[in-house]
Structure 1
Amino acid sequence: MKRNDLNDGDGTALPTNAARLGTRLRLARQTRGLTLKALADEAHCSESLLSKIENGKASPSLPMLHKLVKVLGTNIGWMFEEADGEEGIVFRAGTRPLISLDPLRRGEGISLERIIPYSPGHLLQCNIHHVEEDGESAGPIEHVGEEVGYVIAGEIELIVGDEVFRLNPGDAFVFKSELPHHYRNVGKGRASIFWVNTPPTF
């Protein structure tokens, strides 16, 4: 899995976004008057790892990021917020970043291609989840909202609560985000899922 790369659409790697995430995390922590130790204790993670994340030297797993933003009273969308595109309406092909939330840990193999920017101005969050062969999401995850997805390519196993579903291209799904959920690529080659959820926490 590549380090936390942004893709410019022609395969050229752009600078990583780990520094931006770390800066936002530190700002949110300091705004709430929390020390590194206090935030680490409440989020059940190590102080040293949290320090590395804030300094752009490590990236959190998705479950850890959910814990951090819950403690900080914010959302994942704000952590990655960027400027809107043309009039905040059109977002051109080749300009969408490809985000890996946990680039330093092997085995997950998942990147999120932003369809629209992470922004508090949007009621929906939309990404294409690219899942490498044998890749799987860290989880299970639970949060407020609703999830809708459409499998573009590959074969996915979706686990929602106690139910397991095998999904192929053209299959779609919807479920409440409060249900524990995660997924993995059970086919050959990369799988891709067009994924929309609300509110913007993913």
Structure 2
Amino acid sequence: MPRHKSSPTAPTEEADEPPADDVHIGRRLRHARLTHRLTLRQLAEQAECSESMLSKIENGRALPSMATLYRVIKVLGLTMGQLFTNAHRPAGIISRAGERAILPIHPLRPNSDTRVEQLIPYDPSHLLEGSIHLIAPGAGAQTREDLITHEGEEVGYVVEGTLEIIVGKERYTVSAGDSAHFRSEIPHGYFNPGPEPARIIVINTPPTF
């Protein structure tokens, strides 16, 4: 049964000052916008954010929240992998322990307390995406702005630790051995309420990260 809690606060457009190494993300977004022949206003309207915020992001003066970034790249027809990594075809079907790419869950914030180990290397031809999420104690979705939505469906399997999985207006407490499956169009996220790190395997289609 779900454990009910108070609803997260309403979304905001607060943004952090970007590290110097991350301003190129704004240039990539601007290039994609121009390629799609969209004005800042058109993209802002479709991504449901402000034109001034988009301008700051493109010019490297602000970082979007994860939810805002997902909305922007969805309009531009991009995935997080396309935005932050290069296509990579492994030599074979096996990916060895210790050799897989590990990224922060929010690529614009390298010191994020949640990291993602890619089980399936990014490639534009892939229909499936798989990763292991390592979530530090106290890390994860704190407000509704931290929840994301995207096309498709996904399943998560908890390997160790305890998590609160948020899907829509519900929160479910899950532990090692538990799993969750839902449509990705529903706002979702997770939070680690325990004293120890948690690990969850997430498989989704089509690729979004």
Q: Distance in 2 between matches of 1:92 and 1:24?
A: 31
Give 1:95 shift.
2.8
Q: Hey, which bits of structure 1, 4+ residues long, moved more than 6 A?
A: none
Report the 3-state secondary structure (helix = DSSP H, G, I; strand = E; otherwise coil) of the residue aligned with 2:146. Answer: coil
* Counterpart position of 1:201: 208
* Counterpart position of 2:129: 125
* Counterpart position of 2:184: 177
The answer as to whether partners of 1:59 and 1:102 remain within 8 angstroms in 2 is no
Which residue, out of 61, 68, 73, partners 2:72?
Answer: 68
Report the 3-state secondary structure (helix = DSSP H, G, I; strand = E; otherwise coil) of the residue aligned with 1:78. Answer: helix
Read off the aligned partner of 2:118 and give its amino acid letter. Answer: R
The answer as to whether partners of 1:128 and 1:193 remain within 8 angstroms in 2 is yes
The answer as to whether partners of 2:100 and 2:119 remain within 8 angstroms in 1 is yes
Q: TM-score, normalised by structure 2?
A: 0.73
Q: Distance in 1 between matches of 2:95 and 2:28?
A: 23
Instruction: Show CA shifts across 1:118-157 (max 9, x none).
Output: 2221111111111111111353222211111111121100
The answer as to whether partners of 1:131 and 1:192 remain within 8 angstroms in 2 is yes
Q: Name the stretch that deviates more: 190-199 or 134-143.
A: 134-143
The answer as to whether partners of 1:110 and 1:132 remain within 8 angstroms in 2 is yes
Q: Distance in 1 between matches of 2:62 and 2:116?
A: 17
Read off the aligned partner of 2:128 and give its amino acid letter. Answer: L
Q: 1:86 to 1:142 in 2, by over 3 A?
A: closer
* Counterpart position of 2:94: 90
The answer as to whether partners of 2:87 and 2:124 remain within 8 angstroms in 1 is no
Q: 1:118 to 1:151 in 2, by over 3 A?
A: same
Q: TM-score, normalised by structure 1?
A: 0.75
Q: Which runs of 5+ in 1 are unaligned?
A: 5-15
Q: 1:118 to 1:59 in 2, by over 3 A?
A: farther
The answer as to whether partners of 2:30 and 2:58 remain within 8 angstroms in 1 is no
Q: 1:62 to 1:149 in 2, by over 3 A?
A: same
Q: Which runs of 5+ in 2 are unaligned?
A: 1-17
Aligned residues: 183
Pairing of 1:1-202 with structure 2 (within 5 A): 18=22, 21-22=25-26, 24-36=28-40, 38-40=42-44, 42-43=46-47, 44-45=49-50, 46-52=53-59, 55=60, 59-87=63-91, 89-100=93-104, 101=106, 103-104=108-109, 109-137=113-141, 139-202=146-209
The answer as to whether partners of 1:80 and 1:118 remain within 8 angstroms in 2 is no
The answer as to whether partners of 1:144 and 1:177 remain within 8 angstroms in 2 is yes
**CA RMSD, Structure 1 to Structure 2 (Å):** 2.9
Instruction: Show CA shifts across 1:37-60 (max 9, x none).
Output: 6544543141453125xx5x7654
Q: Percent identity?
A: 40
Q: 1:20 to 1:169 in 2, by over 3 A?
A: farther
Q: 1:73 to 1:104 in 2, by over 3 A?
A: closer
